[in-house]
Each structure stands twice: as structure tokens, then as C-alpha cells.
Amino acid sequence: MKASQYLLPTTKDDPQDAVVASHKLMIRSGLVRKSHSGLYSYLPMGLRILKKIESIIRQEMNHAGALEFELPILTPSEFWQTSGRWDKMGKEMFRLKDRHDNESCLGPTHEESFCHLMKPMLKSYKDLPINVYQMHTKFRDEIRPRYGVIRSREFTMKDAYSFHLNDESLDETYQLMRRTYRSIFGRMGLATIPVQADSGNMGGSDSEEFMVVSPIGEETLMICPSCGYNGNIEKTALVLKPDSLAAKPSSDGTRVETPNAKSIQDVASLLSVDPSHTIKAVAMMGDGQGVLVFLPGDRELNEAKLKNASGFNELHAMGQKDLEKYNLIAGYIGPHTSFHPGLKVYLDSSISANQEYVVGANEFEYHKKGFIFGEIIHAKDSQYESFDLVLARKGDACPNCGTGLSEEKGIEVGHIFKLGQKYTKAFEMKVLDKNGKTQDPTMGCYGIGVNRCMATIIEQCNDDKGIFWPISVAPFEVCIVNITKKEEDTAKVEGIYQSLKQAGIDVFWDDRDLGPGFKFKDSELIGFPIRLTLGKDFVEKNEINILIRKSGQEIKHTFTNFENLKKQIADITQELYSDLGASNV
């Protein structure tokens, strides 16, 4: 491809609304343009990269035996009502009505649609296992789209769904997909870490996210340096210290005045106690019902754990009217024996039955010292439900070996689930086993964010000059920059360009009538892995300067014949592809 026949709308300046490298460089290098908040148009160079990423995914999925489909983006509400997720998906789901008042949504995922499609086609064990997938547009009404295509409202996802007769078969495909994902991300040049994750509103049991460590990551990873445990902060369990089996008798403590002390830090400072010896009360609304959670004062609530424990779909902080309804005083809420009957009360399982705590006195500007939960925790008729409800943090004990955990930020690029029978039962899918008995199939689910992969690669592969693409996903593998001036010299460059094209080399020729500096900067900004510079040395000495973008290595190649040049490029290309094999950890 010649630059004079292409579109290269590169820019020097960062877009005003961009704060991360991938967003800035995708705009500056002419890969995308913003259409509206969370919506992006892909320009020719960017689309080539996206299609190469899709090609890698498609090749690996097909190699794993998965079958590609394409389903409608618009899905009827009946599918989601059948699974029970029409309400559970919340406000991020784009919903609409047609002219007949039929409700539909722009699919954020397609479990329901694939179940509806596959149900009449799967009759017996002979039809299983089967793994089906698509690469298609998805929609998510993000409240705050940001980071360019990393968190956008319209995006491309590879979503796959497997159907099985039993859990053993499901596990085989789950492990196959785990290996396939490692291969996919490795071929893209992405270093990923599989971490245990919460399944969220997808449901199911086992769940792993494929994370790329990055300071801009919106996910927090808990990593054990000893045993190799990796977990999303939402999934990582808090390992409890042993407590005495015999609980101390409950104590109401001593009422103390705490004027203007609403926060944990204020109370701890005023009463000269460590925040871990205080109790934090978090008042929320869960699907319209009041929820009160008691936590150690030095910990934060893990909403994912609370949703799993309570079954609530959406949580938000109580407003003043809600607090008044449930007779709660903000900043001074404490344990009580007669809460409002409509209030669900949870106690974090790390709260000791024997330790003395500072708690709210349920009275304005008053707390209690020396409160002991004691028998409250273990009583059979206790109104408190106890669960692990706090966020893990750096230094907490590893759930596997007890070693202190370290903490990293990560970008999620893929996710695999064992869905179980949640959807097959909802859609009344039945298959006959070998004995002629009907069974509910079990399912797996496997997703990859295609656009997100593209942006995440840039986050890993950029410097002060621009992007250095892994050769497998680069828009073009080779870029020719000619800085010759005479027509006869340019004709020689044309001959090399045409010969490279005929040899099947993925080549881009910057033949624009621009200065050398401008061309060099564009090639480095866009990030072509290999650059051939043909100028004065080429005219006078048949010498071609070859630059390897990632390493900055320069090679002086003496051009004697085309076969020699082709071999030189093939050797460099092979080395760059070989480097991708070591990209995963």
C-alpha cells in the first residue's frame, strides 16, 4: 500500500480528553476518531490492526474446535426475562421498544440468545460437547466511558458458549479454553495473568479473568509471591485469624460523647484507639430494600461479596429519607437488638466475638466503648447474618498458603466462566443421555474484548516516539521510507516495493512528497515493526538502512539483489515472531 493512496491523519498534539497512552496514541496515529462519548470510528490503519487481532482469535478458536456463528445484536426482552436477567442487568443495558411496543435490548452478551438458538438443535449426548462463538458488536451504557476504547459504550467482543452433558466434560473444555486464551494473548504479544474472579451477574462457579498488569488498570489483583495464587480483589477471600470458641458474653459497652466525630478516623483519634478496634456501619439500599453492614473500621466493603451473599442486583448508599425510614443516624449507627423489621443486617465474619470495639450508639454525637459482640455472633436466633464482606488488601494472608499478598493494577482482556445449568434450566434445554434419560446440559462461557486488546497492547508497547506494535498485529509489518529526490531513484524504490509486495510481504510505502523528518516521525508514531530507509546511501552505495522499531536496532544492508533483501527481512520477521512466544507469564 502506498501512503499517497492511503489516509494518514496523524497529529502532533494529544486530544484534550485523553489521559492514558493508548487513547492518546490511537488518536494521534490516525487509528480511530471519537464519534461521541464512548463511541469511536475505526480508520483504515486502525481497522487493519483490529482485523488482525480478530484473525488470531478466530484461528485459535477454530483450532480448539469451536464453531463460529453470527447472531442478531438486537435481542428480545423475552430471552432475558426467561433467564431472570432483564432486571438484573441494570442500567448498563441499552433497552428500546419498536413500533409495536415490543421491548428489546442491544446485547451486552449473548448467553440467552445462544440458548434459544441451540435448544432445538441439541437433542442427545451425541450432539455434545459443542462450543459455539461469535465476534460481534456489543453495547454497554457506561455511566462514565473513559480511557478511549478500553471502556467504551460500543465494542467488539468474542463470546463463546459451550454445552456439555456433565461437569467433567465442561472442565475439559474450560481447561482447553484456558490454554487457548494463553495462546491467543501470547500471539498478540500480551503478557497476561489468569486470576480467580467473581462471576457477577453471569452466574456460575469457577471464573478466571485474564489480566494485563498496568498502572491504568481498573481492576486490583492480589498476587501471592510464594504459591502463585492470583485473584481479583473482589474474589479474594479474607483469611481469618483463629478466635476463641467460647464467646464472651455480649456487652453494650460504655456510652461516650463524640461531638463532630462521624468518620472512623475522627472517632479513633478522639478516643485514642486503633481504627481496627472500631466498627464501621455501611447503610445501603439493595434492590429497594434497606441493608446494613458492620465491618471492622479499618476495612472497606466488597460490594461483589455483598451481592453474592444477599442476592441483590444493585446497591447504592442510603439517602437521608432512607435513613429516616429505617431509624438510622448517619455517622452514629451501631449494633442493635431491634432494628427496623424491613432492614437486612450483615456482620463481616472477621469481627471477633471476644474483642472490645468502639461502635455507634445509635444516638447523635455518641458512641460506645468496650462493646463485645460475643453471643450475638453465635446465637441461633441472631438477626445478624455473617459473611466475608471486606475487600482484601496488600499484606493479607494468601487464601492458599498464608503468605502476605502483593497488589497490582490490571486491565481485563478476557474472562472464562463455568456457568453450570443456570441458563439451560431457565430455557428448559433437555438432552438424552446414553440411557435415554433426559438431562439438563451444563454450560461454559468464554469472552475476549477485541477493542480492549488493541488498546492494551498499546499500553504495553509504547515509548516517547509512539507505538511499537508486536509484528503479529501491526498494521503493516514493513514500512519503506524513501528520501530520494530524483525520479529515476524513486523508480528504483518502486521496484523494491513492488518486489516485496509480490513476495507476499506486508509492506507500506511512504511515498508522500514530505520531508524525511515528517516521514520518520510518522513511522515511529504509528509503530511499523520494520522500517527500510532508502536515500543517498541507497543511490550511491546500494545501502539500505533497516530499523527495528521496538529495540531501535539499525542494520546496514547492502543491496545486491532482491532475494538477498527478502531473506534479510524474513530473518528479522522470524525473530520478531519468535519473541512473541515469551510474552506470556
Alpha helices (H) along 6-120: 21-28, 44-63, 77-83, 85-88, 111-118
Answer whether 28's CB lies under 8 Å from 525's CB.
yes
- Ranges 205-209, 260-264, 469-473: which has the least confidence: 205-209
Q: Determine phi and psi for 81, rounding to 5 degrees.
A: -70, -35
pLDDT digit string, tens, across residues 396-421:
999 999 999 999 999 999 999 999 99
- pLDDT tens digits for range 136-173: 999 999 988 989 999 999 999 999 999 999 999 999 99
Kindly indicate the confidence band of residue 311, based on its pLDDT and cuts at 50, 70 and 90: confident
**Mode of pairing for the β-strands spanning 406-420 and 442-449:** antiparallel
pLDDT higher than threshold 80 for residue 248:
no
Res. 585: pLDDT tops 50: no
Grid coordinates given for 334: 451501631
Residues 6 or more apart in contact with residue 30 via CB below 8 angstroms: 7, 8, 9, 10, 11, 43, 45, 46, 526
Report the pLDDT averaged over residues 560-575: 93
pLDDT averaged over every residue in the chain: 92
Q: What is the pLDDT at residue 37?
A: 93
Distance CA 282, CA 2 (A): 62
Distance (Å, whole) CA 514 – CA 519: 7
Is the pLDDT score of 583 beyond 70? no
pLDDT of 305 over the 50 cut: yes
pLDDT above 50 (res 582): no
- Are the CB atoms for 548 and 529 separated by under 8 Å? yes
pLDDT at 504 over 80: yes
The pLDDT tens digits for 14-59 are 998 899 999 999 999 999 999 999 999 999 999 999 999 999 999 9
Interval 318-374: pLDDT, tens:
999 999 999 999 999 999 878 898 999 999 999 998 899 999 999 999 999 999 988
Mean pLDDT calculated for residue range 522-542? 95
Single pTM value for the model: 0.87
CA-nearest of 446, 409, 451 to 152 is: 451
According to the model, what pLDDT value does residue 193 have? 92
Domains detected in the chain: 17-237+406-459 (3.30.930.10), 254-387 (3.90.960.10), 476-579 (3.40.50.800)
| Band of pLDDT at residue 243, cut at 50, 70 and 90 | low
DSSP state of 234: T
pLDDT in tens, 105-130: 999 999 999 999 999 999 999 999 99
How much is the average pLDDT of 457-463?
Answer: 96
For the segment 300-313, the average pLDDT, to the nearest whole number, is 90
Dihedral Cα 282, 287, 289, 293, nearest 10 deg: -20
Question: Which range in 202-216, 380-394, 449-463 is most confidently predicted, on average pLDDT?
Answer: 449-463
